[in-house]
Chain A
Amino acid sequence: MKFLPLVWRNLARNPLRTALTAGAIGLAIALVCLLLTMPNGLDVLLERAASNTRIVVHNEAGLVYPLPYAYLQKIRSLPGVVGAASWSWYGGVFEIEKGVTFPNFAVEPEPIGTVWADWGIDAKQLEDFRRYRDGAIVGGATLKRQGWKVGDRITLKGTLYPVDLQFRIVAEIPNDRAPFLLFQREYLDQALRAAGRGGLDTLGIVYVRVDDPARVAPVMAQIDTMFKNSEAQTASETEKSYFSSFFSMLSGFVTIILIVTGLVALCIVFIAANTASMSVRERLGEIAVLKALGFKRRLIFTTLVAEAVILSGLGGALGALASLGLTQLLHARASSWNSSLGPLGSFIVTETILVQGLFLALFVGMISGVVPALGAARRSVAETLREVF
């Protein structure tokens, strides 16, 4: 410990070099931290959005394949099911010219409060949603983006169904995770009948809430067995696995990111090793003098490695903090899904990543310092001094 000032003096001897090396290591660590948020960020996103007591039931053939509407009642009657609501894609578009769109679904109004108790929709607003046939629940993120508020009236133009629907916004989902617009299934059904198109006898997917997380697996199995060999077979899955299927296509992208992260990490080792070997080479004479004065090899080795570790530790800490700041900034700019930034706003550098980045930096410092330090400690004094003087 008492040699710490020596280490510090050595670092301060060439401030420009120290700053440049710390900067290079810092940038690389920042990059690694940022890249590490990507696979992690998706997982966090899913954990946040999904509930462990909700099940999604859809057609085994694909999400766009409908299920008979009668399935909903059958699912509701199963033991352990607290509530079930069907979602049917309406595909309505607001302001065609600007291409403003957000996911919108026809649902049953009654079970919303039970199935999505975690959304925390105001009880009074839920009551309004049940009461008004043209009522709509809109996600907080969508309300914010469009500048709407509860009480506004809007019209969506149908792209899949030949009917346009007018809504009054009666409730808000008070979080940014659900950018949907939900409205009464009956409203769409009646509009279709009025247009002479026959009613709605199918549904898209069913969200089921069970009373106990332990019951999720048995209920899923029960549902799929119930509809086995019927006109449309179902596939049930947990909400998390359902959401993750939307992101699974990014898996190839994530692989590339991991490869690139590896390359960048290697890059830092090289930069740090280069610096360490340069500073050792310049100090060969000095080190020989220290040894001639009787300082032990171990001590010389330790101080040199400590120098490299401190340098890259400092750089790494700076880089990790910079990446944290950057993601916080992005998060503040685009809290959930943003058209130009995509999901980037939801990727936050967590404490785990900070620690990982810091450890990587220390590890790099160690690796880069060991080889030149070993060489310097081993070198014979007489030989070095002869060369230098």
Chain B
Amino acid sequence: MLPLRYALGNLLARRARTALTVSVIALVVVASTLFSGLVSSLKRTFVTSGNPRNLIVMRKGATNDGSSAVPLEAFQALRFFEGVARGPNGQPLASPELVVQPFFHTPGGGRENVLVRGVEPVALAVHDEVKITQGRMLAPSSGEVILGRGVEGRYVGAQLGQTIRFGHGTWKVVGIFEADRSSLESEVWADVRELGDDAKRSVPYSGVRMRVADGADLDALAHRIGDDSRWALEASRETDYYAKQAESANVFYVIAIGLAVLSGIGAAFGATNTLYAAVQSRRAEIGTLRALGFSRLAILVSFLVESLTIALAGFAVGSLVAALLGRLVSWWLGGIAFGSQTFTTNVVQLRVGAVDLAYGLCLSLAIGLLGGLAPASRAARMRPVEALRKA
């Protein structure tokens, strides 16, 4: 085998060319990991939403809680169904909620639909991923709201202690909450009755979220709710509900994969070119090596090591730039807004995670391998006599 130093030394001997090829691969890695990071961040906001022990109850056929209606009588009966968990004070953990999508105004003069969820205090016990990090929970019937972390600072007055305008009135911001980076962080919570009055809703709730008691069967309870003929309601697992919402990100996956494949092939062509040129200019050297008794395999491996080293260097530079650029974009845009199925704004923090980097690594290794294989095999197939004669 040829020593590793030979391959690396060759790269260093042609610095400009190596640097150019590394940059090309780095750029491809930046573009692809950034995009993959965007899509996976978007996906994660939905996937981490929802508790596996929670049910969401909506009207039959409703695809999201923005287009559903649940009457008061139905809620009153549902909360006492067998299998609904109880809180420490014996109160059923069933949270009646109303979803409204009013306009919020950005400081720049734009407007966005924001999901405002009308809740009762029990909501915090049912959505236990929600943690109030600043201020306190809103008090019922006092015109107070709490904001998700993604909403904070995005709109006029969206700061703790300030008042914010939406719907027909103004609301006091008394708290900020986090929710494991899920889509709940893009929501505003208000008192369910006040919100219903403000939006002039004839039906008080759009859905009910309930915690299922430990030991009780989720699906059995869901079936019992669905089979009740008094109201055409339907219960599904909260995690399934959000997984379905995440499907809206699939379009972006198509784009991300197309982007990676196209730019990856382009970069592989570039790498192939560089290595072909390297093989061509080193004919004499290769001939000498063969004459000295190094096997074809040794030469093939050595050239592959060269191209893989270039690819790895490209990945290292690219992932560093991507991570920095991701931070920069997040800081600059304050999160990237996506429309969700409820036509409300979902604020996503762009983060380039381990999975995205792994994706970039695979891509760059594939570029190195594909780009290096043909030139390396040409070098290996060279007959020593000819190579030396031509030189």
Contact = CB atoms under 8 A, between A and B. Distances in A.
Interface of A: 16-17, 20-21, 23-25, 27-28, 30-31, 34-35, 60-66, 89, 91, 93, 96, 99, 101, 157-162, 197-198, 202, 232, 245-253, 255-256, 259-260, 263-264, 266-268, 270-271, 273-275, 277-278, 282, 340-344
A256 B38 contact: yes
Given A62-B100, A260-B35, A159 B59 contact: yes
Contact of A271 (B24, B276, B343): B24
Interface of B: 16-17, 20-21, 23-24, 27-28, 30-31, 34-35, 38, 58-63, 66-69, 71, 100-103, 110-113, 166-168, 199-200, 202, 232, 234, 250-252, 254-255, 258-259, 262-263, 265-267, 269-270, 272-274, 276-277, 280-281, 325, 329, 333, 335-339, 343, 345-346, 348, 350
A64 B325 CA distance: 37
Main secondary structure of the interface of A (DSSP, over half): helix
Residue among B166, B262, B350 with max Cβ neighbours from chain A (10 Å): B262
A259 B259 CA distance: 13
Given A20-B273, A28-B266, A248 B101 contact: no
Contact of B259 (A21, A60, A260): A260
Contacts, number: 202
Nearest to B23: A270
B24 A27 contact: no
Given A17-B276, A341-B251, A263 B262 contact: no
A248 B350 CA distance: 18
B60 to A, nearest CB: 6
A268 B254 CA distance: 23
B269 A249 contact: no
Contact of B100 (A34, A64, A249, A341): A64
Contacts of A62: 100-103, 113, 166-167
Given A17-B276, A62-B101, A248 B110 contact: yes
A101 B63 contact: yes
A261 B367 CA distance: 20
* Top 8 closest pairs, chain A to chain B, by CB: A252-B336, A93-B61, A342-B251, A62-B102, A249-B339, A24-B269, A27-B266, A271-B270
A266 B27 contact: yes
Contacts of B250: 340, 342
A115 B223 CA distance: 46
Given A27-B263, A159-B60, A264-B31, A246 B277 contact: no
Given A256-B38, A259-B329, A270-B27, A20 B68 contact: no
Contact of A263 (B27, B270, B273): B27
Given A16-B276, A28-B266, 12 more contacts: A21-B270, A27-B266, A28-B263, A30-B262, A60-B103, A61-B166, A159-B62, A247-B339, A252-B337, A253-B38, A271-B266, A274-B273
